[in-house]
Amino acid sequence: MSSKQGKVSTSKKAQSVAAPVLLHSITQLVTMHMPGWSGPRRGRALSDIGLVEDGAVLVSGGKLISVGTTREMRKDAWLKQHIREVVELDCTGKVVIPGFVDSHTHPVFAKPRLVDFEKRISGATYAEIAEAGGGIRSSLDGVRKESRQQLAERTLSAFREMSAYGTTTVEAKSGYGLNCESELKSLEAIKDAAAKWPGTVAATLLGAHVPPPEHKTDPDGYVDIIIKKMIPEVAKRKLAAYVDVFCEKGAFTPEQSMRILKAAKIHGLEVRAHVCQLTHAELQPLLLFHPASLDHMDFVSDEDVNELAKHDTVATLVPGANYFLATKSYPPARKLIDAGVPVALATDYNPGSSPTSSMPMVLSLACTQMKMSPAEALAAATINGAYAVGLGDRKGSVEPGKDADLAIFQLEDYREIAYWFGANHCVGTMMSGHWAE
Ligand code: NIG
Ligand code: FE
């Protein structure tokens, strides 16, 4: 059993945690502990999930204190000393995993896009709908009209829905306001929602989602606004940790994307990008900025797969978008993993291409459609998601000293999380020691 009893530091949110908790008799505990490995998991290491049978986890002050087997835990000195205050939870017949890290979501929008949904069912493509003024631009009016408070309420209910499926950390993007005022309002809504949710939120400015209609003939003018106004203001007010760009035909060119990522770095923000979702693009110009992740990757070239394997940039795959848009193929997960690229999985929760808050559904798609093993899918959805949002040292594994972020499933085998698609077997989610409501 490993222990780090002296090194517990509690965050402000976690200080309100009441009694320490002992989860014991866990039928399968997935720790993701991998001695000697640092950084995101790649290649064969992606299957190493640190499985403990009859496991136990001790939580105090919002942190993981000890992790091991139930037998080992009973000998733990800290536990013996504090046994009277500890609340015990028998997890017989349950699987416990590190909470999911959903490293790509767009939760700030006003309404579902049901007209687009029906148009696609009748045969229109995502790109055709976007060209005709639907798509991302059709979410714009709602976000511009709604108040910060209304958007915060919707965002909070999305976070709560996510934690009901076992998600404990979320990367949340703006991106439907598409002017300075509404992008800042969207980030403020994320901040307000994050303050009311016990999970962890990494906010991202996605002002560069698509040029808004008023800049249709002058997209570079909009890029100037992002660079000269949005990014400096977001950095000054610390409203986001990341800047994202949709580098795609009909959105932003590689040159425009580079200008945006460069400005982000100058202002001390980290970067990520949507790339190769609908068409191929070269990754080299984006890799110059050391993005935390490059997301979608459906049309990545073989040369870029090999290049990516040399970097710590995580390839975040979002098969929910492929499912919902009914694409002919899925991102080449096997090729990426076998080449040694660190791969993460995320929902891409958004009203246009992936309206799902369920990480278990994403795991199912990863296994059935991209031929990832259930173990690989779990690692991609936890520890590699954590690296994709720069939180690999705090999140994504069940190890002493890390945040007490756990998801409990009423299942006896971890493979069942991906197997039972469309059902929710998550029966408890702990975020920095707090249970989801
Ligand atoms: O990740 N590709 C760009 N952004 C989203 C879709 C957003 C939308 O259609 O509203 C995505 O799929
Ligand atoms: Fe997205």
φ, ψ of residue 414 in degrees (nearest 5): -60, -25
| pLDDT of 86 higher than 60 | yes
CA distance 287 to 289: 5
User: Given CA atoms 34, 37, 43, 46 in this order, what sign does their dihedral have?
Assistant: positive
pLDDT of residue 437: 83
Q: Look at ligand 1, atom 1, and give the residue with the nearest C-alpha.
A: 348
Pairing of strands 242-247, 200-208: parallel
Q: What is the pLDDT of residues 226-280, one digit of tens each?
A: 999 999 999 999 999 999 999 999 999 999 999 999 999 999 999 999 999 999 9
- Distance separating alpha carbons of residues 34 and 50, to the nearest angstrom: 6
Could you give the angle at the alpha carbon of 39 between the alpha carbons of 338 and 433, nearest 5°?
120
**Ligand nearest the Cα atom of residue 136:** 1
Among the listed residues 167, 145, 103, the one whose alpha carbon sits nearest the alpha carbon of residue 345: 103
Cα-Cα-Cα-Cα dihedral of 194, 320, 27, 67, to 10°? -40
Crossing angle, helix 180-196 and helix 148-164, to 10 degrees?
50
Ligand 2 mean position to 149 CA, how many Å? Answer: 23
In 204-332, where does DSSP find H-type helix? 219-225, 231-236, 254-266, 284-287, 302-308, 319-325
Distance CA 242, CA 231 (A): 10
Mean of pLDDT values over 348-352: 97
Confidence of residue 14 (pLDDT cuts 50, 70, 90): very low
pTM for this predicted structure: 0.95
Q: Ligand 1: which of 137, 140, 173, 274 to mutate, most ligand atoms within 8 Å of CB?
A: 274
- What's the 202 CA to ligand 1 centre distance in angstroms? 18
- Give the position, in ligand 1's atom list, of the atom nearest the Cα of 321: 12
Rounded Cα gap, residues 437 and 197, in angstroms: 9
**Burial degree of 5 (CB within 10 A; 0-12, 13-18, 19+):** middle
- The binding-site residues of ligand 1, defined as CB within 6 angstroms of any ligand atom, are 106, 135-136, 139, 246, 274, 277, 321, 348, 350-354
Region 287-300 average pLDDT: 98
pLDDT digits (tens, 9 = 90+) for 370-391: 999 999 999 999 999 999 999 9
What is the predicted pLDDT for the residue at 202? 98
Asked if 420 and 232 touch (Cβ cutoff 8 Å), the reply is no
CA of 143 to the centre of ligand 1 (A): 15
- The mean pLDDT of 56-68, rounded to a whole number, is 97
Atom of ligand 1 nearest to the CA of 104: 1
Instruction: Give the per-residue pLDDT at 153.
Output: 98
Residue 16 has a pLDDT of 52
CA of 105 relative to ligand 1 center, distance in Å: 9
C-alpha 295 chain-centroid distance: 11
Residue 308 pLDDT greater than 80, yes or no: yes
How confident is residue 97, by pLDDT bands cut at 50, 70 and 90? very high
Average pLDDT, the chain: 95
**129: CA distance to ligand 1 center in Å?**
12
Q: What is the mean pLDDT of residues 80-92?
A: 96
